[in-house]
Structure 1
């Protein structure tokens, strides 16, 4: 298992995931990131404020950036 951290980034801010989560594969982490992005987007829509620049930067336990996933990819 590898621990991945899902940092939320946009033009305006960066929110670091300090806990992370363990996944068997990067694809499993990406699937989880898509679900999380959908939940965040749904909440944003309810509030009437969607930031289209948001994305997850997925970092492994050694601090290496392994993927970027724009929130927009969660709805395509």
Structure 2
């Protein structure tokens, strides 16, 4: 298992200090990020806020950015994988 950090960005970066263990591939990681984004969007909507312009920048244990998931993907009932991979290597 590898540890990934779901850093939230909305103009500023909100770091995920703990991260979480994940054994799947990047598609599975994207699914988890979309679930998290849906929950955060739902919580924000209940308080009258719109946070759909945020995104997760998911980094591995070495701090490398491996995936970007925009919260707008969570608004699609059947999110599709982007035509261009969102995987970045430094």
Please list every run of 5 or more consecutive structure 1 residues that lacks an aligned counterpart in the other structure: none
Runs of 4+ residues deviating >3 angstroms: none
- Does 2:8 align with 1:8? yes
When the two structures are aligned, how many residues end up with a matched partner?
A: 75
Which one has the bigger strand percentage?
Answer: 1
Name the larger-Rg structure: 2
Give the TM-score, by structure 1 length. Answer: 0.90
- Corresponding position of 1:63: 63
> As a proportion of its length, which structure holds more helix?
1
User: How large is the Cα RMSD of the aligned pairs?
Assistant: 1.1
Instruction: Show structure 2 runs of 5+ residues with no match.
Output: 77-90
Looking at both structures, which has the greater relative contact order when contacts are Cα pairs under 8 Å and sequence separation is at least 6? 1
